[in-house]
Amino acid sequence: MAENNYREYHPVDLDNKQVDDLLVTCSDHRFQRAFEAVAQNRDLERADKIVFPAPAQNIANGVLIPAIEKLQGLHAFSTISVYDHLYCGGTDYEGASAEEEMILIHQRKQVAAINAIHEVMPEMTVITYVVGVEEIVSATDSRILSYV
């Protein structure tokens, strides 16, 4: 191959459609390594990804539902992981500034996101995280979460 500017290139295996998860993470560059660490702890090697500001909020309000449905139709994952983070510029904190209040607001939006996903995919497992500056500050799993 002719010289190019790629440092490294991995050939794509088009037949490998198996996927462990769909990851829906915020776009904020400051938190990408933290999100990757969370995913690695769960041994997620193959995951489709949606990167969009304030993911739980934008699943709950319906913005991301068509993209999720599209990817599910293509790759048939059975788990969706949603990664929110504190101090998210895209999230409406309703004037709150204390971390405890931000966590509660994220949790409320994540429950609404789970409900929005279950309206169109009732069997989907949804795992949600709120990632803080030093550690994960909240995690929920729709299989064990009781909500109304």
C-alpha separations of 133 from 31, 86, 105, 120, 125 in Å: 8, 7, 17, 33, 26
User: Among residues 47 and 87, whose Cβ is nearest to Zn ion?
Assistant: 87
* Min dist. Cβ of residue 123 to Zn ion (A): 28
User: Among residues 89 and 122, whose Cβ is nearest to Zn ion?
Assistant: 89
Helix (H, G, I), strand (E, B) or coil at 10: coil
Please work out the total of residues on this chain that contact Zn ion, with binding judged by CB under 5 A: 4
* Min dist. Cβ of residue 47 to Zn ion (A): 19
Q: Does 59 bind Zn ion (CB under 5 A)?
A: no
Q: Could you give the CA distance from residue 28 to residue 36 in angstroms, rounded to a whole number?
A: 13
* Min dist. Cβ of residue 24 to Zn ion (A): 12
Residues 11-30 that bind Zn ion (CB under 5 A): 26, 28
User: Among residues 92 and 119, whose Cβ is nearest to Zn ion?
Assistant: 92
Residues 75-134 that bind Zn ion (CB under 5 A): 88, 90
Q: Contact at 8 Å (CB) between 72 and 19?
A: no
**SS3 sequence, 69-105?**
HHHHHHHCCCEEEEEEECCCCCCCCCCCCCHHHHHHH
User: Among residues 67 and 121, whose Cβ is nearest to Zn ion?
Assistant: 67
**How does strand 136-141 pair with strand 125-131?**
antiparallel
* Min dist. Cβ of residue 28 to Zn ion (A): 4
